[in-house]
């Protein structure tokens, strides 16, 4: 019986059990869709699965030392192909999909299967997804497709229905501590966990980001301004974001996390034992759940607009007005 080795991939025990069953039964599907927000480990798991699928040990996969594993780890295995995105959106172009389709019907060079990784496929336009449909409807016998996406809802129904969707989950605080393994930064880890939940990738990035503390300050000022009757307060609080798209995205994420925490508090939902931030407590006291939910959803809409390169100045102005409106002003 083949066992799956998840070395380097933390948490997600239910997901690990499901993948282990697929390997042990020797019925790994022709397509899997790894679903979850950025930072949960989709890329790590995709390459771990690819390595396991070309491993030749036949027992615990990936073994890490056979020829297939060694070549996979160095990125030189001839039977592992990654479709690279391009342009501002990082979408996989139609030409790359057509090349992948042609290659998929050629027999593997070394391994029993050829593995194709399609990262961030939810950014790929419908035309490119349509070009890929035949491979899903009539999959080549030796090909396995590993798709990663923030949400499978962004994929065509015909693709989603033909792949096994494997959602990744957040880690617990103890699991985050094991992943980062730096007791000297425990205070920062706990604070980042309060903001990002169990997203290990975002927590690790925040600990290395020198501008992150500034983004926290801006987000707190915007939240306080939302509770103020003065419209000018939120305009002044958001002024440091003018024309800074990356910083705006970070602040919008922080705002969304605060609205999420406040909504949970308001509804009496208990999460992991981390003390809620003072501003989340204040929001929960002063705004009803319907407004907190609307504010959370608006942050997602604003991030989408920012990622689509909507005029930065107009977006900043719209952020101020739309958040104030949804907070009852």
End-to-end CA distance of the chain: 62
DSSP letter at 143 equals E
Please name which of 173, 97, 83, 171 lies closest in space to residue 130, comparing C-alpha atoms: 97
SS3 category, 197: coil
Tokens 């509804």 -> residue: 267
Secondary-structure percent of the chain, ordered helix, strand, coil, rounded to 5: 55, 10, 35
Q: What tokens were used for 181?
A: 């393994």
Query: Looking at domain 3-167, does it have CATH number 3.40.50.300?
Result: yes
Buried residues in 187-202 as b, exposed as e (16+ CB within 10 A): ebbebbbbbbbbbbbb
DSSP H helices, the chain, are: 13-24, 42-54, 67-73, 94-104, 126-137, 157-160, 173-180, 186-196, 200-208, 212-226, 231-238, 245-267, 278-286, 289-307, 312-326
CB–CB of 37/199 below 8 Å?
A: yes
Q: Model-level pTM?
A: 0.72
pLDDT tens across the length of the chain (329 residues): 678 999 889 999 999 999 999 988 888 999 999 999 989 999 999 999 999 999 998 788 999 999 999 999 999 999 999 988 777 777 888 888 888 888 999 999 999 999 999 998 888 778 888 888 878 888 888 999 999 998 888 888 888 888 999 999 999 999 999 888 887 778 788 878 877 889 999 899 888 877 887 888 899 999 999 999 999 999 999 999 988 888 888 899 889 988 988 998 888 876 554 566 788 889 999 999 999 999 999 998 998 888 776 677 788 889 999 999 999 88
What pLDDT does 1 receive?
A: 66
Measured distance CA(140)–CA(113) in Å, rounded: 10
SS3 category, 142: coil
Phi, psi of 203 (to 5 degrees): -65, -45
DSSP H helices, 186-288, are: 186-196, 200-208, 212-226, 231-238, 245-267, 278-286
What pLDDT does 2 receive?
A: 76
Measured distance CA(256)–CA(263) in Å, rounded: 10
Question: Which sign, positive or negative, has the C-alpha torsion 202, 206, 208, 212?
Answer: positive
Q: 209-326 sits in which CATH class?
A: mainly alpha
Q: What tokens were used for 77?
A: 């295995």
Run of H or E residues at 35: strand 31-35
Could you state, in order of their start, the residue ranges of all structural domains in the chain? 3-167, 209-326
Please name which of 302, 317, 295, 289 lies closest in space to residue 226, comparing C-alpha atoms: 295
CB–CB of 241/218 below 8 Å?
A: yes
């Amino acid at each position: 019986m083949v066992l799956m080795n998840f070395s380097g991939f933390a948490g997600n025990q239910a997901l690990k059990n499901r993948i282990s069953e697929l390997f042990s039964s020797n019925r790994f599907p022709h397509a899997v869709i790894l679903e979850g927000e950025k930072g949960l480990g989709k890329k790590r798991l995709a390459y771990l699965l690819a390595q396991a699928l070309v491993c030749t040990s036949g027992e615990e996969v990936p073994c890490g030392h056979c020829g297939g594993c060694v070549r996979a780890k160095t990125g030189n295995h001839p039977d592992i192909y990654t479709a690279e995105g391009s342009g501002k959106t990082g979408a996989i172009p139609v030409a790359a999909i057509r090349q992948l389709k042609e290659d998929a019907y050629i027999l593997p060079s070394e391994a029993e299967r050829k593995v194709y990784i399609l990262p961030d496929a939810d950014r790929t336009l419908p035309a490119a997804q349509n070009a890929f449909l035949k491979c899903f409807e009539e999959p080549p016998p030796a090909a396995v497709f590993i798709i990663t996406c923030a949400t499978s809802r962004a994929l065509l129904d015909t693709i989603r229905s033909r792949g096994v969707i494997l959602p990744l989950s957040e880690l617990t605080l103890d699991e985050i501590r094991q992943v980062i393994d730096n007791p000297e930064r425990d205070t920062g880890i706990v604070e980042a966990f309060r903001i990002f939940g169990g997203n290990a990738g975002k927590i690790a990035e925040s600990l290395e980001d020198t501008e992150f503390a500034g983004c926290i300050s801006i987000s707190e000022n915007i939240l306080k301004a939302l509770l103020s009757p003065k419209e000018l307060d939120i305009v002044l609080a958001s002024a440091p974001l003018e024309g800074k798209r990356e910083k705006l995205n970070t602040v919008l994420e922080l705002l969304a996390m605060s609205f999420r925490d406040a909504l949970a508090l308001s509804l009496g939902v208990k999460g992991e034992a981390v003390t809620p931030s003072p501003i989340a407590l204040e929001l929960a006291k002063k705004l009803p759940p319907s407004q907190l939910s609307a504010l959370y959803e608006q942050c997602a809409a604003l991030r989408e607009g920012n990622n689509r390169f909507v005029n930065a100045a107009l977006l900043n102005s719209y952020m101020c007005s739309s958040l104030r409106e949804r907070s009852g002003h």
